[in-house]
Amino acid sequence: MGIIVQKFGGSSVADNERLLNVCKHIINEYNKNNKVVVVVSAQGKTTDKLVSEESQISKNPDKREHDVLVSTGEQITIAKLAIYLKELGYDAISYTGWQIPIVTDDIYGNANIIDIKTDKILQQLENNKIVVVAGFQGVNKEGDITTLGRGGSDTTAVALACYLNADKLYIYTDVDGVYSEDPNVNPNAIKYETISYDKMIQMAKSGAKVLHTKCVEMAKENNVPIIVKSTFVENEGTTVQ
């Protein structure tokens, strides 16, 4: 028994059927007597759609308003997931970044997490609730919404695992681990059972979007292993350590 952080990316939560599949992963951990904190991304291509719609209004949108806009996708997912879990008989509560709060610096569009107030989460876990947190977003000291950069929900998950001193951190995605190359581009790519933080940082920096660079850097600094697994097939995945 311990605190488990599970993160599900956009394709894993794309529609109601997939949300149900995600609920099953969560319930599975919860039923093993774990305290479960879940981080989710916006559904499917929601964030891309928001960015595209914004670009039709302005070629140079205000940075503060950009973050207010693109952070909205995750709020939809946390609410739907909490509603679904309750429907299945499991008590859940959703939080946006500012509600926690997840405090960041002022760099709109690429903010860095500087603090997470864990009291509310710990209290809800104590009450046996499943806590569902919006990825990718935070709040700066002025109270304005910030976002962590594209793919930033991974970083929310790692940061929560660090601040909560979690026992396990799982990043669930649409591939079953980290490969030598993008397996969707090269079907002969080789899957790693384990990979070092440094090698993963190097791969993420050269565009392997399976993990957000900042999340691996943070995991390395805090010595938190990241287990990358598939949401859709049951197998071992890759441990970044």
Tokens of 74: 């995750």
Between residue 27 and residue 86, which ones bind ligand ADP under the rule CB under 6 A?
A: 41
Q: Is 73 in the site for ligand ASP (CB under 6 A)?
A: yes
Query: Least CB distance from residue 137 to ligand ASP, whole Å?
Result: 9
* From 97, 135, 138, 151, residue interacting with Mg ion (rule: CB under 5 A): 151
Any contact of residue 104 with ligand ASP (CB under 6 A)?
no
- Is position 136 an interface residue for ligand ASP (rule: CB under 6 A)? yes
Residues facing 113 on adjacent strands: 104
Q: Per rule CB under 6 A, is residue 135 in the interface with ligand ADP? A: no
Planar angle of CA 215, 230, 191, nearest 5 degrees:
80
Q: Which of 151, 159, 197, 226 binds ligand ADP (CB under 6 A)?
A: 151
- Under the binding rule (CB under 6 A), the answer on residue 41 touching ligand ASP is yes
User: Which residues from 152-181 bind ligand ASP, rule CB under 6 A?
Assistant: 152-153
Task: Candidates 11-19, 149-157, 162-170, 221-229: pick the segment binding ligand ASP (CB under 6 A).
Answer: 149-157
Nearest approach in angstroms of CB 236 to ligand ADP is 14
152 near 212, Cβ under 8 Å? yes
Stretch that binds ligand ADP, among 93-101, 109-117, 125-133, 208-216 (CB under 6 A): 208-216
Residues that bind ligand ASP (CB under 6 A): 9-10, 41-42, 47, 73, 135-136, 150-153
